Amino acid sequence: MDNILDNVLFNAFGNASENIFVYVCDMKKDISRWSKNTVDYFALEEEYIHKAGEKWLQRIHPNDRNEYIKDIENIFSGKTQNHNCQYRAQNKYGDYVWLECKGSVITDENGVPSIFAGLMTRLDNQLKYDNLTHLKTAHELQNKNFNVNSGILIHIGVQRFKVINSEHGVLYGNMVLVTLANIISNTIPSDCIPYRLQGDEFIIFAENKTTEFGLQLFNKINEQCSALTLAKDGIAAFSIISGIVKYPQDGTDFSTLINNAEHCAEHLKEASTDQVTIFTEKINAAHNRKSKIAQALTESIRNNFNGFELFFQPIVNNDNSTVVSCEALLRWNSHSDEIGNCYPGEFIPILENNGSIVQVGYFVMKEAIRMASIWQKKCKKFKVSFNVSYIQFEDSKFVPTLIKTAEEYKVDTSLIVIELTESVFASDTIMIQNTFKTLKKHGFMIALDDFGTGNSSFMLLHNYNVDIIKLDQTFIRGLNQSGSEVDYAIVESIAFLCNKINYLTVAEGVEDKYLWMRIKDFGFTGLQGYLFSKPLCVKEFEAFLRKYDMYYDTNK
């Protein structure tokens, strides 16, 4: 890597403090390097970033962007040599933190701006007490000396806090945090200290206490949170989740202890069964595997998406069993024995977590459209669907890139289906409706994927104009030999309703003939499942179509 970016001073200052983030930019190449703590804390793609200005801008609070843009433009145009502004930037937890960003430009021998370097200092961390909850801050926790032989650290978070915030507003979200802080303070014994880490994360440090004590304390706090009522307390009941780590077994400094406690929270969120867990080797191993996969994925992306490949699963027409449609499903070969098999259910959430799903999503989009352009030449009605993560859907370049790619490959856009899950609909309704309008204007089809698994499936039909409903596999698979009449009635009614409002419908997870026969007359348009075929690589998929004579002669 460029030696301007790789110098000893950068390494030294980059590690100087948790509250200071260091960056240096080679302005001629527009490549910058960010200290490791910046990459970690703000979940940046990597230490070296091309055109970082645009990417960093996405992290900045919308209200603070103009000032930042003005400042940076002045620097890059050579108008000023010093950058000094304060703004909020979004960290890996989705919280905005105040930063003071100072930097200067160094010119080359011809006076041309060549290096831009500086520091960003966290302003909130300088505070001893948190403004909102009046608990001690993370800063205080980091500075605390250990003078005990043993203890536990309890990490407490609010379940689905982001949803609470977006559904009821930030002010209500703040009230939830204050209420929880009060409950914690009033419940813990006087020798335990509560802290607010950030966002909805709280820590209790309990010296000389055992994990049994931690579990009991959790139960007491949890009981009070679940007994709240809107009428009496002004706050509806909410759930908390908690991880408990032991000192010194699980870490001998606060950073390690907090990290391990956060791994517990991560584990609980994924498993979504328990609300509290004690840190175990298994949780540690799961976290380490995730980190290894994340690293290997980044490496694959950097190597021009090496290891990523699209598989295609046929969607069969319910009337005549021909295949005129398919879904693109991503596969990834890690090329690592240690990682072994890794399926989308495991790697997609990791890509979503670090934001790389956006880049990978464009790879998927391009490949799916490229294949659609080939297959459409052989079968005029052949549809190709691909999945779009809610994170990519919110990316401002999503719609323009889709339109451009479709033009580039000259595909019939009415045969390109964008599959979206309910998570997409958590953001701004008007924005989504407008994006849908633009997509429709350009001819694309929209499918609502995994229908029935979220909280608001029917509300979505009411609010949004989609073309296809894909009923989630769990409903179809529920119709097996031991399936109940209730499941049967649910599937039949959903198919009936969708037909009534003229939506196309696809039943997912048709695994055997028994299931197929049970739903055959419900009126689904398409059927997808292992009974017809598993997802196949391009070569196998084309062979499958040829074997069943399905696409060379379905020219209708």
Q: Contact positions toward ligand C2E, by CB under 6 A?
A: 313, 329-330, 343-345, 348, 361, 364, 386-389, 419, 449-450, 473, 509-511, 528-530, 535
Q: Closer to ligand C2E at the Cβ: 141 or 384?
A: 384
Q: Closer to ligand C2E at the Cβ: 250 or 352?
A: 352
Phi and psi based region of residue 251 (left: phi greater than 0; alpha: psi -120 to 50; beta: remaining):
left
188 token code pair: 């813990």
Residues whose CB is less than 8 angstroms from the CB of residue 388 and which lie 6 or more positions away in sequence, other chains included: 361, 365, 398, 418, 419, 420, 424
Q: How far is CA 478 from CA 274, 326, 359, 486, 519, in A?
A: 24, 23, 36, 10, 12
Q: Closer to ligand C2E at the Cβ: 116 or 451?
A: 451
402 token code pair: 């889709």
151 binds, among Ca ion, ligand C2E, none (CB under 5 to 8 A by kind): none
Q: Closer to Ca ion at the Cβ: 111 or 345?
A: 345
- What CA–CA distance (Å, rounded) separates 398 from 362? 8
Minimum Å gap between C-beta 419 and Ca ion is 4
Q: Closer to Ca ion at the Cβ: 475 or 551?
A: 475
509 binds, among Ca ion, ligand C2E, none (CB under 5 to 8 A by kind): ligand C2E
Residues whose CB is less than 8 angstroms from the CB of residue 500 and which lie 6 or more positions away in sequence, other chains included: none
344 binds, among ligand C2E, Ca ion, none (CB under 5 to 8 A by kind): ligand C2E
In angstroms and rounded to an integer, the radius of gyration of the C-alpha atoms of the chain is: 27
Q: Closer to Ca ion at the Cβ: 188 or 388?
A: 388
Which phi and psi (to 5°) does residue 223 adopt? -60, -40
Neighbours of 333 (CB within 10 A): 13
Q: In 3D, which of 177, 174, 276, 190 has the Cα closest to residue 225?
A: 177
- Residue 422 DSSP one-character state: G
Minimum Å gap between C-beta 447 and ligand C2E is 9
Q: Closer to Ca ion at the Cβ: 454 or 523?
A: 454
- What CA–CA distance (Å, rounded) separates 450 from 432? 18
Q: Closer to ligand C2E at the Cβ: 242 or 392?
A: 392
152 token code pair: 């536990």
- Strand 151-158, strand 201-207: pairing: antiparallel
449 token code pair: 């994927």
32 token code pair: 């910058």
Minimum Å gap between C-beta 313 and Ca ion is 9
Q: Closer to ligand C2E at the Cβ: 188 or 339?
A: 339
- What CA–CA distance (Å, rounded) separates 516 from 60? 50
Q: What is the dihedral of CA 406, 409, 410, 414, to 10 degrees?
A: -40
Q: Could you tell me how far CA 297 lies from the centroid of its own chain?
A: 15
Q: Closer to ligand C2E at the Cβ: 76 or 305?
A: 305
Q: Is 58 helix (H, G, I), strand (E, B) or coil?
A: helix
Minimum Å gap between C-beta 418 and Ca ion is 10
Q: In 3D, which of 310, 324, 312 has the Cα closest to residue 526?
A: 324
Q: Closer to ligand C2E at the Cβ: 89 or 350?
A: 350
- Residue 125 DSSP one-character state: G
- Tell me which H or E stretch contains 449: strand 445-451
DSSP H stretches of helix in 394-428: 398-408
201 token code pair: 């994360």
Residue bearing tokens 């701004």: 428
Neighbours of 187 (CB within 10 A): 16
Minimum Å gap between C-beta 321 and ligand C2E is 16
Q: What does 189-235 look like in DSSP terms, one character per residue?
A: -TTEEEEEEETTEEEEEEET--HHHHHHHHHHHHHHHHT--HHHHSS
Q: How far is CA 461 from CA 109, 305, 424, 455, in A?
A: 63, 36, 14, 12
Minimum Å gap between C-beta 384 and ligand C2E is 12
Minimum Å gap between C-beta 450 and Ca ion is 4
432 binds, among Ca ion, ligand C2E, none (CB under 5 to 8 A by kind): none
Minimum Å gap between C-beta 517 and ligand C2E is 15
Q: Closer to Ca ion at the Cβ: 406 or 476?
A: 476
Minimum Å gap between C-beta 445 and ligand C2E is 15
Contact assessment for residue 434 and residue 457, using Cβ atoms and an 8 Å cutoff:
no
Minimum Å gap between C-beta 75 and Ca ion is 44
Minimum Å gap between C-beta 327 and Ca ion is 6
Minimum Å gap between C-beta 329 and Ca ion is 7
Residues near Ca ion, by CB under 5 A = 387, 419, 449-450, 508
Q: Closer to ligand C2E at the Cβ: 224 or 387?
A: 387
329 binds, among Ca ion, ligand C2E, none (CB under 5 to 8 A by kind): ligand C2E
Minimum Å gap between C-beta 295 and Ca ion is 27
Contact assessment for residue 238 and residue 183, using Cβ atoms and an 8 Å cutoff:
no
